[in-house]
Structure 1
Amino acid sequence: MHTFGTAGTDDFSLYADSIPHSNSVYFEAVITVFMFLFGVNFKLYFFLVIREFTPVVRGSEFRACLGIAAGSILLVALNILPLYRGLSQAFCHASFQVVSVMTTTGYATADFGLWPTFSRMILFFLMVVVAMAGSTGGSVKVVRILVVFKALKLNIQKPAHPQKVEALTLGICRC
């Protein structure tokens, strides 16, 4: 049941307390990895199947999503460290919650309403922004945010170089 809930990023569980019912760090780690994998643009999996690794590695959207996830996990883990017994437990809870929120899966292993405001603000940002286009995750897609930032960069550079023409690319070829 949890496998299909993770694949559809829609929080199905047989138990009222959801994931903590299993009380297994391994189970939580596997679900965390698969929640992230189902939040990735499925087009990237096609590139992996046909053995074209360049669009996967150099894709702006994937790198941005991975960077946001890694940075958020690190910041949240450090912020909630006083609430848990050691860095490993804080990192485990932070990574699970961050990936769950950023893919809009909805699973929870901790009551993050009790976490410090800084961590809750990061999770709120992730609810709104982080999901890749072509994935099962909801929210505003990362690609739209990237387009906005790249367009802003071009518009800022335009007065200094009015004759310059530059294409806006996102790094995935052969669309």
Structure 2
Amino acid sequence: WRSFTHAIGGMGILIFALAVMPRTESKAVYVMRAEMPGPTFGKLRSKVRSTARILYLIYIGMMLLLVVLLLAGGMPLFDAFIHSFGAAGTGGFSSKGASIAAYNSAYIEIVLGFAMLAFGTNFGLYYLIISNRAKEAAKSEELRWYIAIVVMAIAAISLNLFSLYDNHGTMLRDVFFTVSSITTTTGYSTVDFTYWPLFSRLILLLLMFVGSMAGSTGGGIKVSRISLYVKMFIQEIRRSINPNRSLPLRFEGKQLSKPLLRQISNYLIIYTAVFAAITLVVAIDVDNFESSFSAVAATFNNIGPGLGLVGPAHNYSFLTPLSKIILSLGMIMGRLEIIPIIVLFSPGTWRKV
């Protein structure tokens, strides 16, 4: 049941309701936007309810395919469903204490590695593919950023670990799985990366913040926002060199409006402020910078295992009740991307008009 609930939550409880409950389309588009994390750059299909059903069919189909592939690798049926649910919802719950390392299977690790990356991809692209618009999906700018980030992270960490592994095939396996797990904010593990060199740990820490694609089941800031922050940074440098030059910002072939760019910039400010506040509270409890900082990064971005005292071979049980409550609230805020929670508890939300 625990695995099933985060499988449903992966795509969104409210999208699930839209898909199965016969209600009117009124305001359904706003519900769908709230449950599909990340900024929206295009209009959702007018038939929101039918779109929700199609997305869930894709989601369920991918889960069942993963179950079959895991069974083919010798994983028991019960475990196959557990880990399929965990990968689909990027929740990372495992029926084994050692997570995926318990199976010691290259096949299972490779299958789950690619599966996690697939579930960390914008589901709108799958919708385009089944709508015979595969070329349009392949041109996705965010997808290119997503692939580039994963490939560069794997290459950088592999170079850093090259001299530490006797078997470089095993090294690539460990790095690929770990990068896939952290980037998609799933949290499955096959190795205790807490003992990797500092450079590799810092790469993983950065990946915790980047997260997966907008419109996926993953967490984090989202690749789309990260790519836009990079573009905005470059734009500011160019504007400093030539203040009179008009520099429109484009993403996915579309020029972005100033209100949308302001909204994306404000999100980073709010994200940083909330993250800093949670870190300060946890630092009272955990007198270790790496452990306290990564604990907040791993929970706020919905990964699970962090570094140091909260690494893959450890857990959060040593924390005080206050820290656990704060981190739990951080998980909820991170999953819903902060703003809805702030709006929910704002006095104006409940004030009678």
What TM-score, normalized to structure 2? 0.46
Whether the aligned pair in 1 keeps the contact of 2:119 and 2:216 (CA below 8 Å) is: yes
Letter in 2 for 1:92: R
RMSD: 1.7
* Distance apart, 1:60 and its partner CA: 1.6
Structure showing greater relative contact order (alpha-carbon pairs closer than 8 Å, 6 or more residues apart): 1
Match of 1:164 among 227, 246, 249: 246
Match of 2:110 among 6, 15, 29: 29
Whether the aligned pair in 2 keeps the contact of 1:129 and 1:141 (CA below 8 Å) is: yes
C-alpha spacing 1:169/1:21, structure 2 compared with 1 (3 Å): same
Runs of 5+ in structure 1 lacking a partner? none
* Distance apart, 1:129 and its partner CA: 1.1
C-alpha distance in 2 between matches for 1:44 and 1:12: 26
Runs of 5+ in structure 2 lacking a partner? 1-81, 255-353
- 3-state SS of the aligned residue for 2:251? coil
* Distance apart, 1:161 and its partner CA: 6.5
C-alpha distance in 2 between matches for 1:141 and 1:72: 16
* Distance apart, 1:160 and its partner CA: 2.3
* Distance apart, 1:172 and its partner CA: 6.2
* Superposed counterparts of 1:78-157, under 5 Å: 78-157=159-238
C-alpha distance in 2 between matches for 1:56 and 1:138: 21
C-alpha spacing 1:163/1:91, structure 2 compared with 1 (3 Å): closer
Deviations 1:1-40 (A, max 9, x none): 1111110111111111110111110000000000000001
C-alpha distance in 2 between matches for 1:97 and 1:169: 32
Q: May I ask how many residue pairs the two structures share in their alignment?
A: 172
1:7 counterpart residue number = 88
- Larger Cα Rg: Structure 1 or Structure 2? 2
* Distance apart, 1:156 and its partner CA: 3.1
Deviations 1:93-130 (A, max 9, x none): 00000010011101000010111111001000000113
C-alpha spacing 1:29/1:131, structure 2 compared with 1 (3 Å): same
Whether the aligned pair in 2 keeps the contact of 1:74 and 1:91 (CA below 8 Å) is: no
1:54 matched to 2:111? The reply is no
C-alpha distance in 1 between matches for 2:194 and 2:83: 23
Runs of at least 4 residues off by over 6 Å = none
Moved more, 102-111 or 83-92: 83-92
Deviations 1:38-67 (A, max 9, x none): 001111111111121333222221111100
C-alpha distance in 2 between matches for 1:43 and 1:172: 16
Whether the aligned pair in 1 keeps the contact of 2:235 and 2:247 (CA below 8 Å) is: no
C-alpha spacing 1:157/1:110, structure 2 compared with 1 (3 Å): same
Letter in 2 for 1:84: Y
Whether the aligned pair in 2 keeps the contact of 1:76 and 1:119 (CA below 8 Å) is: yes
C-alpha distance in 1 between matches for 2:245 and 2:160: 47
C-alpha distance in 1 between matches for 2:87 and 2:174: 17
Moved more, 36-45 or 47-56: 47-56
